[in-house]
Amino acid sequence: MRPFANRRIVLGVTGGIASYKAAWLARLLSGAGAEVDVVMTAAAQEFIGAVTFEALTGEPVHTALIAAGHALGHIALARSAHAIVVAPATADFMARAAQGRADDLLAACLLAADAPVLLVPAMNDRMWAHRQTVRNTTHLRGLGYHVLDPEEGPLAAGEGSGPGRMPEPETILAHVGRLLDADGLLRGRRVLVTAGPTREPVDPVRFLSNRSSGKMGVAVAAAAWRRGADVTLIAGPLALPFPVGPTVITIETADDMRAAVSQHLASADVFVMAAAPADFRPAAAATQKIKKDAAPDAIPLVPTDDILVETRGLRGPSAIVVGFALETEAALAGGRSKLRRKALDMVVVNDASEPGAGFAGDTNRVSFLAGDGEVEAMPLLPKMDVADAILDRVEGKMRGR
């Protein structure tokens, strides 16, 4: 799984109650294809056993600064790491890291490492708010360390709720992915993505929509953010969770989506229109629920605006614009028509009737159409892999401009 395959991650675990979450993080990293070296402080071993991490990673756990036969173990660990993640990072560890201490194996690894470092604080809310912790955090960021802000939520028993809770392992995994993958052409670029369906009201309780789940657009937004982009995701009504990182703007109707795209398109370096806005809406929505015994014989429909066409004049002069063509027949012909009519750099075509490539699934089989007329057919892939394939080709077009 990109970008974790064949990457080595040092996972540092310090002594806090949130260390139980580190076990799941180790599992997620290993499951994504990373090789995980766990380094535990003495305090961490009071909360969770080393054997747990050995079972989850298949690797021995490192605990001693100086061990027989491994006097330079901290140097070897640090040099082999593609990233170092400390989760949880206690107030004590952050203070020692800010001072450049090397009094245990984990702290020494930070000093010997060239790899990016992600610190994930977890502590009591008053400790997090203390002036010394604030100063240490600022200093660590100034040194180039990446420090996540803790989340708000329930703290240790009897401590109520507040900022200080360690983010969930899935959130941390996303940030580790960004550390590993944010060195390409999308780093620092502004990417605008749309996802999902729209809902066009018939009356206050009914609407016209389609079967789009939004999974493809969400995957594109997540992959672009992982590559270091500043991502804005404009999403219709979705049942799935939004990805970590992108700024999310939720909308309801096709008119809402057009307005949001119009507001953000001029500043976008890349625009991926993966949403499936409705092509038609009722000519006039009823102001009250339509009763069954008073239902009209027909509901007149009118076309909605074509967002890619209507906003064409707002595109930046060097913006790369990608559209989608979901068809049920003559898919390539439909894609070629969209490529020309909407002045796109690339169209992603898929056939909704093909098994595994329709709505709501986790896979997709697409073909890419570019301005040169070339057709590139892809095999059936997970949607995240399709998203990366799209962005690979976007980066290829960026190199040519």
Which residue numbers are catalytic? Answer: 210
Distance from C-alpha of 31 to C-alpha of 25, rounded to nearest angstrom:
10
CA distance 336 to 339: 5
SS3 80: helix
Q: 88: cis peptide before it, omega within 30°?
A: yes
Q: How far apart are CA 18 and CA 89, in angstroms?
A: 9
Nearest partner of 36 among 97, 88, 92, 77, judged by Cα: 77
Annotate 5-68 with DSSP letters as a single string.
TT-EEEEEE-SSTTHHHHHHHHHHHHHTT-EEEEEE-TTGGGTS-HHHHHHHHSSPPB--SSBT
C-alpha 226/C-alpha 233 separation (Å) is 14
Q: CA-based Rg of the chain, rounded to a whole angstrom?
A: 25
Could you give the CA distance from residue 381 to residue 359 in angstroms, rounded to a whole number?
Answer: 14
Cis peptide before 3 (omega within 30 of 0): yes
Residue 108 is inside which H or E element, if any?
helix 105-112
In 227-310, which residue ranges form alpha helices assigned H by DSSP? Answer: 254-264, 307-310
Tell me which amino acid residue 398 is. M
How far apart CA 97 and CA 102 sit, in angstroms, is 8
As to burial, measured by CB atoms within 10 angstroms (0-12 exposed, 13-18 middle, 19+ buried), residue 94 is buried
Eight-class DSSP state of 197: B
**Cβ(52)–Cβ(27) under 8 Å?**
no
